[in-house]
């Protein structure tokens, strides 16, 4: 369990007072002064949904993830997509090469499912010991999904059956692509027309519904078997609603897919992740795009949140009075679902103001992080306790 500490900044024989969870019952230390500082100690979190890209952008972004996270499920939507185990292993090597030499960050690789993926590829993936899941992008749904699946059951049933055999999870971008369906309803329609029938047909398939955004998705996850169907939730879908796309003018850096939703959906996500259910875990969906590709007439979807993700999750859980539930979400539920060991090392989150950089530059461009230039309350300390 996480450890919450509060300590005064004035000299005292015992400046550090450790409070037991739930801290709401224990209350604050008596000698509260205006400069009380809080820390949360967490088992090192993992990121179960991450876009690391390639080339020089990879070198810039990977260190941000590696400084806070132990492992990450690395999404395969490169150009060309990572469709084979051989390509996944080569991508893994380039990620490891891009890491700072002291880092023990572990990339967990995935395959990009296409209409043509062969069931043998799933066996190779499992035997490699380095590939942990297969990602479904409905063709046309999101960034680099042109090679995605056009008819899941029609074209991929043998592969899905092999995934059941190999206990290989299917990670789902859960939106329909029919242009007739309203942008804000695409997740809900996907659940009813694709996901529910899929799970009925293959009840033993492990599925992660990625980056859920709606009350409908929460209800769906609740209706499914624990340990078999789970969901990742991003910082942006917990912190922002769709108003933030238009606040003071069009805000391209708040555009991601699935698009931000109404406040009732954000509230449903907060209730879900703070409920204590083990079906939800951390997946940032950190998805950097070069600044010009977001600030243009047809901007890309994706928010670069790796540097701020833990600060945002901490804020959301704190405001919900549920800091005691944070560690399961960040560090336990994900590895438990994937059948991997929990991390052993710790990180700490310090409650202290931290101004987010306006941007990060890399040799061929600039990326703008989520909450650029704003100040957040929680600061993830890279140092292990």
Ligand X SMILES: NC(=O)N[C@@H](CC(=O)O)C(=O)O
| Minimum distance of Zn ion from residue 207's CB (angstroms) | 14
Contact mark string toward ligand X, 73..112, x via CB under 6 A: ----x-----------------------------------
CA 199, 134, 284, 367 torsion-angle sign? negative
* Between 128 and 359, CB nearer to ligand X: 359
- Nearer to Zn ion among residue 121 and residue 285 (C-beta): 285
Closest CB 97 distance from ligand X, rounded Å: 21
Shorter beta-carbon distance to ligand X: residue 4 or 172: 172
Does residue number 138 form part of the binding site for ligand X (CB under 6 A)? Answer: no
Instruction: List binders of ligand X among 153-212 (CB under 6 A).
Output: 173
How long a stretch of residues is the chain?
A: 385
Q: What is the distance between the alpha carbons of residues 101 and 234, in angstroms, rounded to a whole number?
A: 29
Task: State how far the Cα of 183 lies from the Cα of 177, in Å rounded to an integer.
Answer: 9
Q: Give yes or no for residue 235 binding ligand X (CB under 6 A).
A: no
Phi and psi, residue 145, nearest 5°:
-110, 15
Q: Least CB distance from residue 215 to ligand X, whole Å?
A: 20
Rule CB under 6 A: is residue 302 a binding residue for ligand X?
yes
Question: What is the bridge-based pairing of β-strands 375-381 and 346-355?
Answer: antiparallel
Q: How far is the CB of 333 from Zn ion (least distance, A)?
A: 19
Q: Does 126 bind ligand X (CB under 6 A)?
A: no
Q: Tell the smallest beta-carbon distance from residue 189 to Zn ion (Å).
A: 16
Residues at the site binding Zn ion, with contacts judged by CB under 5 A = 142, 173, 285
- Say which entry of Zn ion, ligand X, none residue 256 contacts (CB below 5 to 8 A, set by partner kind): ligand X
Binding mask 236-265 for ligand X (x = CB under 6 A): --------------------xx--------
Write out the catalytic residue numbers: 49, 51, 135, 173, 211, 285
Residue 274 binds to ligand X (criterion: CB under 6 A): no
Nearer to ligand X, 144 or 155 (CB): 144
Distances (CA, A) of 47 to 149, 233, 235, 359: 25, 10, 11, 22
Pick from 226, 200, 348, 349: which is nearest to 281 by CA? 226
Looking at beta carbons only, is 137 or 329 nearer to Zn ion? 137
| Interface positions with ligand X (CB under 6 A) | 51, 77, 142-143, 173, 256-257, 285, 287, 301-302
């Amino acid at each position: 369990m996480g450890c919450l500490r509060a300590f005064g900044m004035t000299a005292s024989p015992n400046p550090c007072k450790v409070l037991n969870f739930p801290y709401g019952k224990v209350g604050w230390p008596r000698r509260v002064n205006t400069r009380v500082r809080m820390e949360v100690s967490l088992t090192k979190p993992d990121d179960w949904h991450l876009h690391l890209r390639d080339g020089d952008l990879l070198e810039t972004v990977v260190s941000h993830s590696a400084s806070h996270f132990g492992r990450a499920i690395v999404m395969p939507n490169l150009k060309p997509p990572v469709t084979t185990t051989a390509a996944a292993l080569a991508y893994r090597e380039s990620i490891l090469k891009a890491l700072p030499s002291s880092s023990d960050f572990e990339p967990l690789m995935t395959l990009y499912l296409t209409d043509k993926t062969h069931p043998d590829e799933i066996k190779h993936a499992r035997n490699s010991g380095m590939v942990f899941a297969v990602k479904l992008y409905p063709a046309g749904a999101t960034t680099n999904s042109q090679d995605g699946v056009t008819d899941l059951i029609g074209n991929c049933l043998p592969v899905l059956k092999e995934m059941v055999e190999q206990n290989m999870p299917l990670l789902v971008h859960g939106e329909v692509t029919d242009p007739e369906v309203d942008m804000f309803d695409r997740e809900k329609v996907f659940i009813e027309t694709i996901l529910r029938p899929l799970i009925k047909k293959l009840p033993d398939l492990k599925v992660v519904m990625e980056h859920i955004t709606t009350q409908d998705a929460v209800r769906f996850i609740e209706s499914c078997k624990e340990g078999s169907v789970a969901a990742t939730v991003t910082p942006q879908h917990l912190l922002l609603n769709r108003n933030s796309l238009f606040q003071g003018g069009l805000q391209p850096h708040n555009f991601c897919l699935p698009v931000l939703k109404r406040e009732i959906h954000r509230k449903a996500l907060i209730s879900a992740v703070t409920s204590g259910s083990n079906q939800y875990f951390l997946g940032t969906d950190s998805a950097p795009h070069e600044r010009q590709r977001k600030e243009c007439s047809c901007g890309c979807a994706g928010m670069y949140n790796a540097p701020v993700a833990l600060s945002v999750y901490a804020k959301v859980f704190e405001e919900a009075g549920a800091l005691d539930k944070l560690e399961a979400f960040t560090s336990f539920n994900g590895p438990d679902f994937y059948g991997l060991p929990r991390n052993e090392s710790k990180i700490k989150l310090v409650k202290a103001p931290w101004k987010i950089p306006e941007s990060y530059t890399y040799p061929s461009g600039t990326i703008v992080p989520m909450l650029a230039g704003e100040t957040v309350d929680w600061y993830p300390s890279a140092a292990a306790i």
